[in-house]
Amino acid sequence: MNSLLQWVDTHPRRFLVFLSLGCVGLLAFGLYMQHVVGLEPCPMCIVQRYAMVLVALVAGLAATRSSRGALLTSSLVLLLIAGFGGFVAARQSWLQWYPPEVLSCGRDLYGMIETFPLQRVIPMVFKGSGDCAAVDWTFLGGSIANWSFLSFCAIALVALLMVLRTARR
């Protein structure tokens, strides 16, 4: 673990490239699960995908910059995005562990955006629906939301370490 942190500290741009590629790989797996396996994403899954896209974009753009200020700023942004994605994944995991008494299949995110104003869509997305509480796939006992939460936590942890080490220099 210490050697990994040392490598991240000495090669932050390489780490950011690997982080961006890892996020693209996770997104590709999500699209495979949707289009090949047939699992339809719930609104919370879609929000997590957007957070993962933002992590990939910010990490990819940060890898092209070499200044300390750009690394610090991008690490802070990655920390915020990963924290947001982790919060959504944690909420979905909580819904899966403690499903609501009344399960209802809600609309997909695009249908909600087309039908309702944005100030009503945002609370509806985070409230979740019966679809968000369903566990359709597991790996090693964890649902997709559980693995997403762990991924966002790992990203946030490394981003926090990058912030602390960059600010200390």
- pLDDT tens-digit readout, 113-152: 677 777 777 676 655 454 666 667 666 866 778 888 999 9
Higher pLDDT residue, 26 or 110?
A: 26
For residue range 95-114, what is the model confidence (pLDDT) as tens digits?
A: 777 766 655 445 555 566 67
Of 122, 60, 43, 51, the residue nearest 82 (C-alpha)? 51
Q: 48-85, pLDDT tens digit by residue?
A: 888 999 999 998 888 888 778 878 888 899 999 999 99
Q: Look at the alpha carbons of 29, 31, 32, 34 in this order and tell me if their dihedral is positive or negative.
A: positive
The pLDDT of residue 29 is above 80: yes
| Residue 64 DSSP code | T
Q: Which of 2-6, 18-22, 155-159 has the lowest mean pLDDT?
A: 2-6
Beta carbons of 128 and 44 less than 8 angstroms apart: yes
Quick count: other Cβ atoms within 10 Å of Cβ 96? 17
* 27 vs 140: CA distance, rounded Å: 19
Q: DSSP secondary-structure letter at 33?
A: I
Q: Which residue has the tokens 């690394």?
A: 71
Nearest to 33 by CA among 45, 22, 21: 45
Q: Which of 60, 52, 58, 51 is nearest to 73 (CA)?
A: 58
Host H or E run for residue 95: helix 68-97
Provide, for the chain, the percentages of residues in helix, strand and coil under a 3-state DSSP scheme, each rounded to the nearest 5.
80, 0, 20
Tell me the one-letter amino acid at 104.
S
- Regarding pTM above 0.75, the answer is no
Distance from C-alpha of 99 to C-alpha of 93, rounded to nearest angstrom = 10
